[in-house]
Chains A and B, each alone.
Chain A
Amino acid sequence: SAVISQKPSRDICQRGTSLTIQCQVDSQVTMMFWYRQQPGQSLTLIATANQGSEATYESGFVIDKFPISRPNLTFSTLTVSNMSPEDSSIYLCSVESKYNEQFFGPGTRLTVL
């Protein structure tokens, strides 16, 4: 199994600012995934991040709003840019094991005022 940590665990931000969320894995992984989960809702995949290449975004998500970095095989960041209250959500990163099961981080709870 993989152990994933995220920072910050929660934050309250002002409209128009940006927040960068960090995701750290205790082992090297090829792909990392970023999800958003709004209160009481299911998870929505934002993008897939491969080390050394541009992230692949799902429909409805764009790089200018959610830039992603993947500098090495154990780390990734997701930035939520120019935030509005609609961005208030839990953001989760995940990685896939060699057995095709995914391990999720604890999430970052973001509130935008």
Chain B
Amino acid sequence: LAKTTQPISMDSYEGQEVNITCSHNNIATNDYITWYQQFPSQGPRFIIQGYKTKVTNEVASLFIPADRKSSTLSLPRVSLSDTAVYYCLVQNSSASKIIFGSGTRLSIRP
């Protein structure tokens, strides 16, 4: 499984767009990228998943360049409730288990 690297922490303010970048230099052809969000005292929650280019859902967008060695989670117009830890993971399409990296602790201020 490819190792991921992401910033330990980030700060932003309500209403701003937040972009969290993750590097995964050793990503394999069959791997795809998934992001999870975890609030204190809760289990992680799936946010978004993608293989290449751009994916958008009701909560976030995921940008993946052509070489797929990195990805960027974009959270539009964050609010205080977006304060959480965000994990970037690389998953293999033929294997179910996932390995969590260190995550990015995002703090949103008023």
Contact = CB atoms under 8 A, between A and B. Distances in A.
Q: Per DSSP, are chain B's interface residues mostly helix, strand or loop, or mixed?
A: loop
Contacts of B45: 104
Contacts, number: 49
Interface residues of A, number: 21
A87 interface: no
Interface stretch (B21-29, B62-70, B73-81, B95-103): B95-103
> Chain A binding site: helix, strand, loop or mixed by DSSP?
strand
Interface stretch (A14-22, A67-75, A77-85, A92-100): A92-100
A33 B44 CA distance: 13
A45 to B, nearest CB: 6
A48 B97 contact: yes
B46 interface: yes
Contacts of A96: 96
29 contacts: A4-B43, A33-B96, A33-B97, A33-B98, A35-B100, A42-B87, A42-B100, A42-B101, A42-B102, A42-B103, A43-B100, A48-B97, A94-B43, A96-B96, A100-B32, A100-B34, A100-B91, A100-B93, A100-B96, A101-B34, A102-B44, A102-B46, A103-B46, A105-B43, A106-B42, A106-B43, A107-B41, A107-B42, A109-B41
